[in-house]
Homo-oligomer: A and B are copies of this chain.
Amino acid sequence: MTFAATVWNENIHEVLEPHIMPFYPAGIHGAVADALYEQLGDAVTVHTATLDQEEHGLTESVLANTDVLFWWGHLGHDRVDDAIVERVQRQVLSGMGLVVLHSGHFSKIFTRLLGTTCSLAWRDDADREVVWTTAPGHPIAKGVPSPLVIEHHETYGEFFDVPEPEETVFISSFSGGEVFRSGLTYRRGRGRIFYFSPGDQKYPVYLHPDVRRVLGNAARWAAGDDFRRVPAVSHPALGELIETAARRR
């Protein structure tokens, strides 16, 4: 059984200041795509898409053929077209998986699906981030050491204004004493959502073998199946409803 991942990246830091990320010669999307191939091998086919493409590379056809969408954005949140955001939201509600990475917490698609500000505390002092597993039986934590240590990273801290998640899979601490719920799952409509905070553009986080393992696990966990349908109003006539159900058997 194979599935299709699309890795979306705004691809702005890559163009404006490529010198800050010499470790990502193919961009953040390239690194994430590479991690998925490494972790999942033949089980996945990976496609990438960026902000500057026609329809941000997220045409109806691309999304209809995507089982799980990865999202990395930072400087360009406002430049994402509302119509495309609605399109992505509709696909998530109909069953497409969504993995939102790092500064994507402020993306239109994430705040729209969660309904909160998704704000947080932050500073960037190259602290050590220590990522602890708080749901060791969860498929996304499979094979991930606890703690997973990232030697240098931007600091994200609580209060992270998101709804209470279905499961808190990871919680991080930072050298300064902050904590952050760094791996959270949600279900919205028929779709599954995973937020994972590691991955600032200035640090080679997506080369970390255990972070890559999380990306692979998350892709597999969030990927929807073939069936896709936006939840919609139904209006059965009296009596028909139950009879239909009985006939269906």
Using a CB–CB distance below 8 Å, which chain A residues touch chain B?
89, 93, 95, 112-117, 119-123, 125, 128, 130, 132-138, 142, 145-149, 151, 157-161, 163-164, 166-168, 171-174, 176-179, 181, 186-192, 208-210, 224-225, 227, 230-239, 241-242, 245-246, 248-249
Assess whether A116 is in contact with B173, with CB atoms less than 8 Å apart: no
Starting from the known contacts A112-B115, A173-B177, A178-B241, 10 additional A-B residue pairs (CB-CB under 8 Å) come to A117-B189, A121-B234, A122-B234, A123-B236, A135-B187, A146-B158, A147-B241, A149-B242, A168-B168, A173-B174
With A114-B115, A158-B171 already in contact, the answer to whether A145 and B248 are too (CB < 8 A) is yes
Q: Is the CB of A158 within 8 A of B177?
A: no
Q: How many copies does the complex hold?
A: 4
**How distant is A4 from chain B, measured CB to nearest CB, in Å?**
18
| B190–A149 CB distance below 8 A | no
Inter-subunit contact B159/A136 (CB<8 Å): yes
The docked-state distance in angstroms from the alpha carbon of A167 to that of B162 is 12
Select which of B95, B151, B173, B189 is within 8 A of A178 by beta carbon: B173
Q: Are B116 and A132 in contact (CB under 8 A)?
A: no
> In angstroms, how far is the closest chain B Cβ from the Cβ of A108?
12
Docked pose: A16 CA to B178 CA in angstroms: 37
Which of B158, B192, B224, B233 contacts A121 (CB under 8 A)?
B233
A236 CB to closest chain B CB (Å) equals 6
Asked if residues A236 and B121 are in contact (CB atoms below 8 Å), the reply is yes
Q: Which B residues are CB-close (under 8 A) to A192? A: 137
Q: Which 8 pairs across A and B sit closest by C-beta, in order of nearness?
A: A137-B190, A161-B231, A173-B173, A113-B115, A121-B234, A130-B177, A132-B158, A125-B238
